[in-house]
Structure 1
Amino acid sequence: MSTLHARPVALITGGAKRVGAVLARSLHAAGYDLALHCRHSIAQAQALAAELHAQRADSVLILQAELADIPALSKLVDDTLSRYGRLDALVNNASAFYPTPIGHADAAQWHELFASNAQAPFFLAQAALPALRSAHGAIVNLVDIYAERAIADHPIYVMAKGALAAMTRTLALDLAPEVRVNGVAPGAVLWPSDGKSYDDQAAMMARTPLGRAGTPEDVASAVLWLLRDAPFVTGQIIRVDGGRSVSI
């Protein structure tokens, strides 16, 4: 392990694009150096790293891995520690999301959805635990309001996010007092990459008390608060959903 790095270090899964990239920019601006994980989005990760290196040299390590590969998870942590000598924050952001209607779902879908949404966050937390304990660090899991509320035709995704919510609570108990574990549950922030119809979006906004979609920056602000500014908060899942969860 190298000499202890001067700045705090955050490992972000799925950090190359969409919400993950905004998380990366937000934590980097707040003074964190980054271990930036991606699966297929290596070009986006490299472009983001170049952008952030222009602001602070040698402040981003790109890590490419398949999160379903459990041995690869330990290597993500090992490579982060080899580069920086410390790990202060783990942000489990990566997530697969697609419908799996009952009667048509298969085992491959089950394994993919649970791998990114529940299995990888657990085994990453386990691998990172010694370093996080040493740093008195924190874990933030990106959950979903659908971990508690059903969404039609997505039973496996809902179950996987439900497992992640349960993991957040139980690890908060098991890892205390050295490591805090919390979650952020976004509502409508970015539409899925395959898109939703305008009618679907309009109906969702009509059920949201604040009357609009959120932004990735809203999510990033909550994550940063939990990591840096909430030393007496653990075991909580903060809903960043414009109030939608109270009106579903």
Structure 2
Amino acid sequence: MKAALVTGAATRGGAAIARELHRRGLTLLLHHSPRSVVQAQALAGEMNAARSESAATWCADFSDPAVRVPEWVVDAAVEVCVCNASVWEASTLADCDRAATDWNVHVASHAAVLAALKASLRSIVTITDVHADRPARGHLWYTTTKAALQAMTMALAADWSPRVRCNVVQPGTLTWPEGWSDRARQESVRRGIPLAREGSFEELAAAVGWLALDAHYVTGQILAVDGGRSRVLCD
């Protein structure tokens, strides 16, 4: 049975992606941060109840530049890796601490994971953002490091072919982030989405599942799951 590692798998889109891959028969390694222990253990319990010994958790703080991949994760012979772990915080050019944290979470830690798993990997999907191409005001280091993760994935698509397929999914507005309870603000965003609604984490997971498992002749591609917003986004 194939094994998959999903980083940032405890909640939101990461949990939906993990559930989709598990539903399709894979054994799941669920990476999570120290803040998400309870959620990750609950998700693993849900999966193991459905299929015995089909999920395990790995706790690691990706903001730590010294993060290491444990031997048991390497020994799991992971074939599919979804690089989803992320932080979304406001920042400006002068925010050096924020720059370091965003770089470690989005780029350096994922690079360490992929390097450690290279021998067994067959498919990589990284989760970036529509703002990797169209910067979000007030989130300079988030935008910069998501763009770097995207560029790294495209470079790996060339360097690791033909053995490993490497693709990117760019989510748009899926569910409203914390602090977005203002209905007028939500409606303003919806008006800028050609499909006139926010997406769901399940729709994100379906796209990841297709790229990871079904798209055998697809590599080096960027798929926006955003209702068409990136086609009209100017801010």
Distance 2:141 2:231 in 1: 23
CA contact (8 A) 2:130 2:224 kept: yes
1:17-166 superposed matches below 5 A? 17-39=11-33, 40-75=35-70, 78-82=71-75, 84=76, 86-102=77-93, 105-132=94-121, 137-166=122-151
Give, as a single letter, the amino acid of the residue that structure 1 aligns with 2:191: A
Give, as a single letter, the amino acid of the residue that structure 2 aligns with 1:80: V
Give, as a single letter, the amino acid of the residue that structure 2 aligns with 1:158: T
1:94 Cα offset (Å): 0.6
C-alpha RMSD over aligned residues = 1.3
CA contact (8 A) 2:20 2:205 kept: yes
Distance 1:174 1:70 in 2: 24
In structure 1, list runs of 5 or more residues that go unmatched: 1-6
CA contact (8 A) 1:35 1:61 kept: yes
Give, as a single letter, the amino acid of the residue that structure 1 aligns with 2:196: G
Deviations 1:63-114 (A, max 9, x none): 0001133553322xx22244x3x21111100100111134xx4221111111
1:211 Cα offset (Å): 0.2
Distance 2:156 2:181 in 1: 35
Deviations 1:191-217 (A, max 9, x none): 223435323221111010000000001
Distance 1:217 1:171 in 2: 27
1:165-244 superposed matches below 5 A? 165-195=150-180, 197-244=182-229
Distance 1:198 1:47 in 2: 32
CA contact (8 A) 1:141 1:182 kept: yes
State the number of aligned residues.
232
Distance 2:66 2:160 in 1: 22
1:243 Cα offset (Å): 0.3
Distance 2:185 2:222 in 1: 26
CA contact (8 A) 2:180 2:186 kept: no
Distance 1:168 1:52 in 2: 29
Give, as a single letter, the amino acid of the residue that structure 1 aligns with 2:124: I
Seq. identity, %: 37
Give, as a single letter, the amino acid of the residue that structure 2 aligns with 1:208: I
Distance 1:188 1:237 in 2: 17
Deviations 1:196-241 (A, max 9, x none): 5323221111010000000001110110001110011011110000
Distance 1:177 1:70 in 2: 30
TM-score by length of structure 2 reads 0.94
Distance 1:63 1:208 in 2: 36
Distance 2:46 2:9 in 1: 14
In structure 2, list runs of 5 or more residues that go unmatched: none
Secondary structure of 1:73 counterpart:
coil
Give, as a single letter, the amino acid of the residue that structure 2 aligns with 1:161: K
Secondary structure of 1:27 counterpart:
helix
CA contact (8 A) 1:70 1:123 kept: no
Distance 1:206 1:241 in 2: 13
Secondary structure of 2:219 counterpart:
coil
Secondary structure of 2:67 counterpart:
helix
CA contact (8 A) 1:214 1:241 kept: yes
